[in-house]
A and B are shown apart, each in its own frame.
Chain A
Amino acid sequence: GAVVSQHPSRVICKSGTSVKIECRSLDFQATTMFWYRQFPKQSLMLMATSNEGSKATYEQGVEKDKFLINHASLTLSTLTVTSAHPEDSSFYICSARGQGEGNQPQHFGDGTRLSIL
C-alpha cells in the first residue's frame, strides 16, 4: 500500500532553534500534502495544505512565517518550524494524497514529536 515516510520521528532542541521536518511519499506521487498538529488526547488540527509547485494554503490562526512549508516535488514536502519556542512543542503529522478524484484516501506519516526546551 501507499507509504508516507516522515523524518525525524523525534526532535528535542533548545528554544530559538529552527527545525525542519521532511515528509516523503515513497511509492506514489503526492499532488497534495497536508500538515497537521496534534495535541495530547485530541484530534488532528489541520495547519496547511500544499500543492506541488505552489504556495501552501494556511488555516486561520496558523502563522505562515512561523511554519514554513515547501512542496518542491511530487514526493517531498517539508515543514520548518522557525525559531521554535516551548509552545510549539507538539506532535506534527504529515499526510499525502495522490492524483485522482477525491475518493483517494490520505496516507499519513508516523509523525514527529517536537519538544522545545
Chain B
Amino acid sequence: AQSVTQLGSHVSVSEGALVLLRCNYSSSVPPYLFWYVQYPNQGLQLLLKYTSAATLVKGINGFEAEFKKSETSFHLTKPSAHMSDAAEYFCAVRAAFSGNTPLVFGKGTRLSVIA
C-alpha cells in the first residue's frame, strides 16, 4: 500500500523567500509522485509529476521537486515566493503499474505568503 506524509500543515514564508514544502512517501513498489495546488473553492491543479524519468522535476509557476529514493522524499520547492502562491498544496502517490487505482493524497500543506 502507498501513503504520503506532508510535514507541516501550515507553512508561512515572506514574499521573495524560498518555499519548501515537505513530502515523504511510502511505497512497496516504484512510485509515481505528484504535487497539486488548490486555490479556495476550486479543484486541484497539477503542478508537476515524477514518473521514473529525471529525478529533478520542473513544474508550472516556477515550482520544482526532487525525487530522492534513499530518503523516500519528494519535496516541493520554489526559489522565490510570490503572493499568488498562497494556496493549499497536496502531495500524492500512486504505485507504478497499478492499473486504475486512485491517487493517495497527503493531508495537505497550507502556504501563506507574507508581504
Contacts and interface: CB of A to CB of B under 8 A. Distances in A.
A105 B94 CA distance: 10
A106 B108 CA distance: 17
A57 B50 CA distance: 27
A102 B96 contact: yes
Interface stretch (B20-28, B37-45, B63-71, B77-85): B37-45
B80 to A, nearest CB: 25
Interface residues of A, number: 27
22 contacts: A4-B43, A31-B100, A34-B102, A42-B107, A43-B107, A51-B100, A95-B44, A101-B97, A102-B94, A102-B97, A102-B98, A102-B101, A105-B46, A106-B102, A107-B46, A108-B43, A108-B44, A108-B45, A109-B43, A110-B42, A111-B41, A111-B43
Which 7 A/B pairs are nearest by Cβ-Cβ distance? A103-B51, A108-B43, A108-B44, A32-B100, A110-B43, A43-B107, A111-B43
Given A49-B101, A97-B100, A105-B46, 20 more contacts: A32-B100, A43-B105, A43-B106, A43-B107, A44-B44, A44-B105, A49-B100, A95-B43, A95-B102, A101-B96, A102-B32, A102-B94, A102-B96, A102-B101, A103-B32, A106-B34, A108-B36, A109-B43, A110-B42, A111-B42
